[in-house]
Amino acid sequence: MDNIFLEAEEISKVYHSGEGKIEVLSNLSFEVKKGEFLAIVGNSGIGKSTLLHVLGALDRPSTGTVKIENENIFAKNDKELAVYRNKTMGFIFQFHHLLPEFTAFENLILPTMIHSQKTKATEDLAWELLEKIGLKNRATHKPSELSGGEQQRIAVARALMNRPKLVLADEPSGNLDVKTSNELHNLLKQICKDNEQTFVIVTHDENLASLADRTLEIVNGKIVEKIVSTP
Q: Which residue has the higher pLDDT, 136 or 180?
A: 136
For residues 69-80, give the mean pLDDT.
94
For residues 162-189, give the mean pLDDT.
85
Res. 231: pLDDT tops 50: no
The average confidence (pLDDT) of the chain is 86
Helix axes 148-159, 120-132, angle to 10 degrees: 140
What residue ranges do the domains of the chain occupy? 36-58+89-227
For residues 18 and 48, what is the distance between their CA atoms, to the nearest angstrom?
24
Per-residue confidence (pLDDT) for residue 6, from 0 to 100: 96
For residues 157-168, give the mean pLDDT.
89
Homologous superfamily of 36-58+89-227 in CATH? P-loop containing nucleotide triphosphate hydrolases (3.40.50.300)
Q: What's the predicted TM-score (pTM) here? A: 0.86
